[in-house]
């Protein structure tokens, strides 16, 4: 099966299967037609009284052990646990965070936010804002900084946590929980993330996407992986 085939994602198990099969599952439409959960979701599942794609995120992240974050042009993507070390190697250009700082490649606010997250992983978004000095009377631009750290694969969203009412029923929107890949995945990640040159990781990921998206332009796929 490829992304060009007609198929519907009707529940969290279908989504989990797609992540394992394709490796990359963008949540929203993008420059490649058909390459998203949004375009393959079963009709009527977006906003109903039953759990839909918004509510599936946490359970699917936990079940598959995948990485989830704003990886493609600031938009959310599921990346399989199998492919994420190579994806992180590519996005980090072979640098761990300390090495990037030593080379002067990390702006101060990114370093401060990463260090706050690393010290408290896993940490809910509102708590991370407080720890890093954002919010009322503090620094501005939390969303932009945390998105850049996700794009570089130094942070990811490891779960979504819901508030519970007095009857134990969840309500409202899930709150993002942030983690570092190193602490979320442990040796399964750290032993593999820098095992290849970044260019070799790019070629491996590109070949995987070309099999799943045979009609897509290779230059567009390269830009998406490197964005």
> What would the two tokens of residue 178 be?
């942030």
- The percent of residues above 90 in pLDDT, for the chain, comes to 85
Closest CA to 184 of 50, 84, 76: 84
Q: SS3 of 161, please?
A: strand
The overall average pLDDT reported for the chain is: 94
> What are 39-78's pLDDT values in tens digits?
999 888 887 777 899 999 999 999 999 999 999 999 999 9
* Domain limits, the chain: 12-217
Q: Which residues pair with 70 in a beta bridge?
A: 76
User: What pLDDT score does 141 carry?
Assistant: 96
Q: How far apart are CA 183 and CA 193, in angstroms?
A: 13
Residue 226 has, within 13 A of its CA and on its CB side, a CA count of 15
Q: How far apart are CA 36 and CA 170, in angstroms?
A: 27
Confidence of residue 168 (pLDDT cuts 50, 70, 90): low
Q: How far apart are CA 106 and CA 121, in angstroms?
A: 20
Residue 166 reports pLDDT greater than 90: no
> Which segment of 3-7, 48-52, 128-132 scores lowest on mean pLDDT?
48-52
Q: How far apart are CA 184 and CA 157, in angstroms?
A: 10
**90 and 198 Cβ atoms separated by less than 8 Å:** yes
> What would the two tokens of residue 202 be?
């790019």
> What would the two tokens of residue 106 be?
């990390």
Which has more pLDDT, 46 or 128?
Answer: 128
Predicted TM-score (pTM) of the model is 0.94
């Amino acid at each position: 099966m490829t992304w060009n085939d007609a198929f519907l994602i009707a529940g969290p198990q279908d989504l989990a299967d797609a992540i394992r099969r394709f490796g990359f599952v963008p949540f929203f439409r993008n420059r490649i037609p058909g390459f998203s959960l949004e375009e393959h979701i079963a009709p009527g599942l977006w906003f109903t009284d039953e759990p839909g794609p918004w509510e599936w995120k946490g359970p699917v992240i936990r079940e598959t052990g995948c990485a989830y974050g704003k990886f493609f042009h600031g938009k959310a993507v599921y990346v399989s646990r199998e492919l994420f070390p190579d994806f992180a190697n590519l996005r980090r250009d072979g640098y761990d965070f300390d090495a990037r700082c030593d080379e002067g490649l990390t702006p101060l606010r990114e370093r401060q936010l990463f260090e706050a997250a690393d010290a408290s992983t896993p940490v809910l978004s509102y708590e991370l804002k407080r720890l890093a000095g954002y919010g009322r009377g503090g620094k501005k631009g939390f969303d932009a900084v945390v998105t850049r750290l996700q794009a570089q694969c130094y942070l990811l969203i490891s779960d979504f946590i819901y508030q519970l009412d007095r009857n134990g029923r969840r309500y409202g929107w899930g709150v993002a929980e942030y983690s570092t890949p190193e602490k979320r995945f442990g040796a399964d990640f750290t032993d593999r993330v820098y095992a290849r040159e970044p260019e070799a990781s790019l070629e491996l990921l590109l070949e995987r996407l070309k099999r799943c998206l045979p009609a897509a332009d290779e230059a567009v796929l390269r830009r998406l992986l490197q964005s």
